[in-house]
Amino acid sequence: MKLFGSRFEQVAAIVQKDFIIGLRRRATFAAMMMFALTAVASLSLSTGGAFIEPKFAAALLWVVIFFAASAGISGTFDDEAQAGTLSTLKLYASAQAILFGKMIYVFLSLVALTIFILPIFLILFDVAVENFPLLALTILLGIIGLAAAGTLTAALMTSATVKGGLFQILLFPITLPIFLPAISLTEISLTGAAFEVSLLVVVAVFDLILITASSILYDYL
């Protein structure tokens, strides 16, 4: 018998549980924020204040987001895996509620990461944003797909004996179809050039595919 009556209540409970644990330990947030800050500062120093092409700056931004996010996402199921409580958790909430609760938690963590790192990135690289609404929408759609793919990949990694950089190796090709148009859209938002709506549609469609695939596959894990 499930502890909560509705799927929404189960999802909300999972999100709340993970945030409480995250705030107590601060490990996930610290790993993401420190990696992002270190990466941006190192890249900025390596350029020596030289002018950065918008396309290159857009690619660097998504590289930082990807690796900083993967530093935190990879441990999404670690608490349950180490304590052996994932099966017990499924007695109180459905598998789908667990998946989407974890996914929403990861998404909100990535939103916090982006809010933290984006201003620092723009200042250190002296990059001007000509179309901020497009940049915000692009990043939002990009991290939705990253959260969906990252949550499923983290679930797959719970039984892996050797993790290392395996998480990033598995996650990168899954999210590549999102990152390529996202980089192009980010470049356009920095330059103010006209853009094709089809690029946004591509990212949104891949987000939907990743969310649907995660929902289907998680039941078999």
Q: Nearest 10 degrees: CA dihedral of 203, 38, 70, 58? A: 10
When pLDDT is averaged across residues 166-177 and rounded to a whole number, the result is 88
Place of tokens 């349950």: 80
When pLDDT is averaged across residues 154-163 and rounded to a whole number, the result is 72
Higher pLDDT among residues 158 and 16, named by residue = 16
Residue 4 has pLDDT above 80, yes or no: no
Residue 163 is predicted with a pLDDT of 60
Cβ contacts of 23 within 8 Å, gap of 6 or more: none
Residue 98 is predicted with a pLDDT of 86
Among the listed residues 3, 169, 2, 35, the one whose alpha carbon sits nearest the alpha carbon of residue 110 = 35
Six token digits for residue 22: 């995250």
Residue 156 is predicted with a pLDDT of 84
Question: How would residue 27 be classed by pLDDT, with cut points 50, 70 and 90?
Answer: low
Question: How would residue 93 be classed by pLDDT, with cut points 50, 70 and 90?
Answer: confident
Among the listed residues 151, 22, 159, the one whose alpha carbon sits nearest the alpha carbon of residue 74 = 151
Mean pLDDT for all residues in the chain? 85
Top-confidence range, 15-29, 34-48, 170-184: 170-184
Collapsing DSSP to helix, strand or coil, 115 comes out as helix
Burial of 168 (0-12, 13-18, 19+ CB in 10 A): middle
- How large is the angle between the packed helices 132-156 and 166-191, nearest 10 degrees? 170
Question: How would residue 1 be classed by pLDDT, with cut points 50, 70 and 90?
Answer: very low
CA pair distance 212, 58, nearest whole angstrom: 28
CA pair distance 11, 162, nearest whole angstrom: 30
- DSSP for residue 160: -
